[in-house]
Amino acid sequence: MKKLFPLEIPSGSYSPRRPTCCTIDSPCVRCSMIRLTSHRFAIFEEKFGRLPDIDDELFFDETRAHPVRASDEQIRHQIFAAAEANGLNFATLLSYLGLSSTIGEISN
């Protein structure tokens, strides 16, 4: 017969719920990146009929028949579209991805 040992967790050291890092209306960078990635995965699957492999470009030239890396300008437009569709902060995403040097280009 197996002996069951009770799991002892010292009080105060475990919380079943992590405090939230953000809200639905104001996601943190980590959550924003997850939403951006999910958005791009959906577009990739719609375009190519499959989910991206590890070596596929998530920001791809949408005019090509296979996934080819998009230009920096196209990447900014794709990030802008994802930000707009998901209520994300475009400038924060660009900054996090190291693309914030030319934010003004996207508004044209």
Rounded CA-CA distance 38/34 in Å is 6
Helix, strand, or coil (residue 60): strand
In this structure, is residue 14 part of a structural domain?
no
How many domains does one find in the chain?
A: 1
**pTM for the predicted model, two decimal places:** 0.72
44-94 confidence digits (pLDDT tens) = 999 999 999 999 999 999 999 999 999 999 999 999 999 999 999 999 999
In this structure, is residue 61 part of a structural domain?
yes
Cβ contacts of 82 within 8 Å, gap of 6 or more: 35, 36, 39, 40, 88, 93
Rounded CA-CA distance 27/25 in Å is 6
Structural domain harbouring 56: 29-103
In this structure, is residue 11 part of a structural domain?
no
In this structure, is residue 99 part of a structural domain?
yes
6-36 confidence digits (pLDDT tens) = 555 555 555 556 556 777 778 889 999 999 9
